[in-house]
Amino acid sequence: MLPLKKQTNKQTKQNKNLTRSLGGSACHAWGSPFFLKGGERRSKSQGWERALISFRERTLCSGFLFLSVFPFDLDCVLEHLFTNPLGIMDSLSFLKTQFICHLVICYVFIVSGLIVNFIQLFTLVLWPINKQLYRKLNCRLAYCISSQLVMLLEWWSGTDCTLYTDPESYVKYGKENAIVVLNHNFEIDFLCGWNFCERFGVLGSSKVLAKKELSYVPLVGWMWYFLEIVFCKRKWEEDRKTVVQSLKNLRDYPENFWFLIHCEGTRFTEKKHKISMQIAEAKGLPKLKYHLLPRTKGFAVTVQCLRNVVSAVYDSTLNFRNNEIPTLLGVLNGKKYHADLYVRRIPLEEVPEDEQECAKWLHRLYQEKDIFQEGYYRTGVFPGTPIVSPRRPWTLLNWLFWASLLLYPLFQLLVNMISSGSSLTLAVFALLIIVASVGVRRMIGVTEISKGSTYGNNDNKRKQQ
């Protein structure tokens, strides 16, 4: 918030006099055409242009009314903006926290996502005719949705993401198929994984191992369905056959893809970690300090099915500087975080083919990830060369395209609703705002660690896969 000086009684009186003096001009908007006195309503044939002019006048009048009610010094605000070089930046930061901005972002995301889902539905006719064309089209369509979330991280919040890796491996990223093993400690770790994909041009074709329930969720869930994402019910006896078939379908995929997998299966919490380490002790496995015990069967099957298609495993370990605890709500509020991602490229030939040997290999990998995290908390850096990959403009340009396409009709609709002067119309509009606000909060709540899986409850205390 800007540091505003309280007005004196004299300044408050001057603002009120100024507001009254505008009653015959700007404040006349309260009587026309939105709320005409005596039933004198302008004809609709005069067009919406006059409504826009009156809307502008009404907004100006509202500003003066605001100043007359809340005793703040407008001169102080302007002086702060033009004399303080950080004033405009402070104002932008404040603007990013406003709910109306969040509604606009979510409106563009939801409406554009539904449009893309609708187009994806019609691409199904291409599957029996030209499967590879269907896949290429859906990679581009999926990018239209997922890139909007990456845009929030990269451009809206301005989050920095430093990559620690081997320079020899760096040149191969984005040019080969890979299995990306991510730790699952933060609310936005999936977003950082997508950011990693975006920096190397494989966001649209990236794959994940997701819960079956997500395939029924509009926008991202439906996008994943058309993108041939691998879904599972977390019941290995039922999942194995469908997972194997879905993975084998990717063997002839026409685009380079990264298969992102969280082997821990759920986000890290102290409660889950305690239960996980009890399982590790019962199985005679080394305990981990910063990770949960990895689920090995899904990873082993993924390696078996994609061998000779995937070139390497990218062992990716994410952390944030200064003990930051990032949240999606923080990103939406424009809060800047500082992420560090350590990536090791491991040729797939080094991963054992036998399922049991592969499981042992994965347990050793997570012990090494624990060591890397321990070193990071001690020194603040990961091994390897720090590289800041340049941001690509396409995520921002994609959002600007959809915003320019969808915000104009929304604005026109709002002008028409306000100009109608109907109490019922305004009540419906208010109800839609309430529903939208609840919807936004629920969407954000899905990513919260406290709303994670029921890992550790009685029905989930069976041995990990």
**Whether the predicted pLDDT of 159 surpasses 90:** yes
In the numeric block, the tokens 């300044």 are attached to: 11
pLDDT for 401-411, tens place per residue? 999 999 998 88
Question: Prior bond to 3 cis, omega within 30?
Answer: no
126 lies in the same domain as 69: no
* Mean pLDDT lowest among 33-47, 82-96, 182-196, 281-295: 33-47
**Whether the predicted pLDDT of 41 surpasses 80:** no
Burial 312-347 (b: 16+ CB within 10 A, else e): bbbbbbbbbeeebebbbbbbbbbbebebbbbbbbbe
Find out whether 223 and 146 touch, Cβ atoms under 8 Å. Answer: yes
- Domain final residue pick, 87, 109, 140: 87
With the C-alpha atoms ordered 203, 205, 209, 213, is the resulting torsion angle positive or negative? positive
142 lies in the same domain as 260: yes
**Whether the predicted pLDDT of 9 surpasses 60:** no
Q: What is the rounded CA–CA span in Å between residue 16 and residue 356?
A: 79
Most confident by average pLDDT, 25-34, 48-57, 234-243, 315-324: 315-324
- Domain final residue pick, 87, 116, 137: 87
- Number of helices and strands (H, E) in the chain? 16, 8
177 lies in the same domain as 307: yes
Please give the mean pLDDT across all residues of the chain: 80
- Domain final residue pick, 65, 87, 109: 87
Residue 24 pLDDT grade (very low, low, confident, very high; cuts 50, 70, 90):
very low
In a domain, 399, yes or no: no
**Whether the predicted pLDDT of 244 surpasses 50:** yes
Q: What is the rounded CA–CA span in Å between residue 382 and residue 163?
A: 9
pTM of the model: 0.77
- Cα–Cα distances in Å, from 317 out to 164, 180, 181, 307? 10, 10, 8, 23
**Structure tokens of 317?**
């370990």
**Whether the predicted pLDDT of 370 surpasses 60:** yes
79 lies in the same domain as 136: no
Q: DSSP E strands: which ranges in 262-335?
A: 312-320
Residue 140 pLDDT grade (very low, low, confident, very high; cuts 50, 70, 90):
very high
Amino acid at 21: S
Of the chain, the percentage scoring pLDDT greater than 70 comes to 74
Residue 460 pLDDT grade (very low, low, confident, very high; cuts 50, 70, 90):
very low
Q: How many domains does the chain have?
A: 2
3-state DSSP call for residue 211? strand
283 lies in the same domain as 363: yes
pLDDT for 75-125, tens place per residue? 454 455 455 555 566 778 888 888 888 889 988 999 999 999 999 999 999
Which CATH number fits the domain that encloses residue 178? 3.40.1130
* pLDDT given for residue 1 in this prediction: 40
* pLDDT given for residue 5 in this prediction: 43
Mean pLDDT of 49-73: 42
**Whether the predicted pLDDT of 16 surpasses 50:** no
Range(s) of the domain holding residue 79: 9-87
